[in-house]
A = this chain, B = another copy of it.
Amino acid sequence: MVQKYLSLVNGSFEHAISVLDRGFAYGDGVFRTMQIRHGLPVNWPFHYQKLVADCAAIGIVCPSAELLIHDFSILFPIRELDDESAWVAKIIVTRGEGARGYAPPAVTVPTRVIIKSPMPEYAKAHYAQGVHLHVCETTLAKQPKLAGVKHLNRLENVLARMEWRDEAIFDGLLLDDQSNVIECTMCNLFARFGHQLMTPDLTQCGVAGITRQHILGLGKLLDLEVNIGQIALDRLLQADEVLICNSLFGVFQVVSIADVAWEPQTLASKIRKLIAHD
């Protein structure tokens, strides 16, 4: 496959990992996708903290921040520091190689992979006029032991993403099996009801992204009460404003979900400024 990317495996330029890697065998690992500006991930402390927490959730020892920063310095060398072009870095940390069988070896050496690829170009219309969501038929299974964690078991997201090809649809809304809104396939979601800004509870399923975490702390700056709770789909469709967020585009307003539409408003751009995504 021809595409523009560069990758480091355990600190060396490599584009392959062992067929015995448990990340490949079982999805036994976690990952992060980050925007790189001036050689370092935007909001790196949030990302590293989350990487450590996600590794801990499945019992993997996270590589040190020093090691990862050294990797970044190789992939994004100093001569690019003045380069305004943005890149995406995807970090994958797996439990490492193992023999056949689910039991991890007594001693495991985590595999760390960093993949550098060009920053996707988001349409200007997404910023100005918002985005459209599909409501996925694929629902998220409840697994409290893995909920919130950005692990490598992402078949639900893949199946959900395969539900539409219409390029006018930016992402798909994922519900649990009781029609509660959880997230989208590649981002988290907020809904504003008057002065309340709510984001779904992710203790049963979903991925708790760092931009969501960031926004949860912005209540005072936004003059909104920001909190976590259950949001049924019916209720979401009555929200005053719906937003989605991730580490690459920051925040977009949602202007339609299925046949319900909203007028473009200003909260998304206000938050983008606060989280350094504008």
Contact = CB atoms under 8 A, between A and B. Distances in A.
A56 interface: no
A219 B22 CA distance: 38
Interface in A166-212: 177, 185-186, 205
Nearest to A108: B1
Contacts of A186: 101-102
Chain multiplicity (copies): 2
Interface stretch (A66-74, A136-144, A234-242, A268-276): A136-144
A20 to B, nearest CB: 7
Interface residues of A, number: 64
A17, A152, A158, A185 — which one has the most chain B CB atoms within 10 A of its CB? A158
Nearest to A5: B20
Interface stretch (A26-34, A39-47, A78-86, A251-259): A26-34
24 contacts: A1-B98, A1-B99, A1-B105, A3-B99, A7-B19, A16-B17, A19-B92, A19-B115, A23-B24, A25-B154, A26-B154, A26-B157, A58-B155, A88-B100, A100-B117, A100-B120, A102-B157, A103-B161, A103-B162, A142-B142, A143-B156, A151-B155, A153-B153, A153-B154
